[in-house]
Every structure is written in structure tokens, then in C-alpha cells.
Amino acid sequence: MTNKQTANVEEPVVAFLIGMRINALLRFWEWLPVAAAMPRMLRELGAHPELGMLGARTFVSGRVILVVQYWRSFEQLEHYARAGEHAHLPAWKAFNQRMRSGSGSTGIFHETYLVGPGQVESVYVDMPRDFGLAGAVGAIDVRAGKQAARERLAVNEPPVA
């Protein structure tokens, strides 16, 4: 029997994608500290759930490292990013200092999405319960009337032909 679930989004949540791209592989002394900073931050956030991160997963594709994070609120994400007593701000300052050389060896990026109930759709078929948004906010079984993405989103417009 197939196990089909969706994320149980009952409160607003923040999806935060953050990552880096190694632009100059041989300049490892520039990009390695950047790559090493994120695991430290994730350990800190995992040890202190009161900071607001609900869950995270890291993906590597070629020269890109991407961390998908879920946060309880934008305010908690922003507070963590700006707080000098946590791992992010010192790492950010060190990154900026190293990048003043202008070598462009390391690219960084982030995207922040504010998502509320009825604004996000997900489905997990035979996936671990701790995966994705469902791992961060909890998973519920997909039930009758919620089998299609448009039903889970409560989209009322007719499908495009």
C-alpha cells in the first residue's frame, strides 16, 4: 500500500533557501571556509529550537550546495541572521572580508518565502516523515477530496485545457 501524505501547514511558515556556488574550484582557501560555516550554523540551530528553525536539509549538485530551511517566522530568521552571539553574523562578516579580494571564487544566494495556510501544496509518496516541509511542520495523510494539488490548495478556477 502506498503511503501518501501532505504537510500540515496550520500556521504561517518561512521557507528559506540558502546556498553557495564554487566558481573557482582551485581557490579552495576562499570557498572552504564558506562551506564549513553552514554546518556550524545548522548544528547551533538544531541544538536551540527556540531560535525558530523548524527543519533543514542540505543538497549538493555539482558546484552548488543548497540548504532548504523552514522557520517559524521571518522575525526569528532575521534575528538569528543579525545576532552577534550566534554563528551566522561572524561567518557573514568573515565572508565579506575574504570576498573583498574580488576574485569571485564563491557565489552565495538566498531566497525567502513567507507561506501561510492554503498557500502551499505538497505531496510525499513513500517518503520519510522527516522530509521537506512535512518534516518541519508535521505530516498528515492525504484524504478524500485532497488527492490533487488544486484540491490541497483549494484552487477554484477551472484547469487550463
- Does residue 125 form part of some domain? yes
Q: Which domain holds residue 82?
A: 1-153
- pLDDT of 110 strictly over 90: yes
pLDDT in tens, 53-68: 999 999 999 999 999 9
Mean pLDDT of all residues in 2-11: 87
Model's pTM, two decimal places? 0.85
- Does residue 159 form part of some domain? no
Set of cell numbers at residue 86:
550566534
- Does residue 45 form part of some domain? yes
Give the least confident one: 60-64, 77-81, 88-92, 154-158: 154-158
- Does residue 160 form part of some domain? no
pLDDT in tens, 94-105: 888 877 777 888
CATH code, 31: 3.30.70.100
User: Residue 15 has what pLDDT?
Assistant: 96
Return the ∠ at Cα 158 (arms to 157 and 160), rounded to 5°. Answer: 115
Q: Considering Cα of 95, then 101, then 107, then 112, what sign does the dihedral take?
A: positive
- Does residue 78 form part of some domain? yes
- Does residue 12 form part of some domain? yes
Mean pLDDT of all residues in 67-93: 93
- Does residue 23 form part of some domain? yes
Q: How many domains does the chain have?
A: 1
Counting beta carbons within 10 angstroms of the beta carbon of residue 1, is it exposed (0 to 12), middle (13 to 18) or buried (19 or more)?
exposed
Mean pLDDT of the residues in the chain: 89
pLDDT in tens, 13-59: 999 999 999 999 999 998 898 889 999 999 999 999 999 999 999 99
User: Residue 129 has what pLDDT?
Assistant: 84
- Does residue 139 form part of some domain? yes
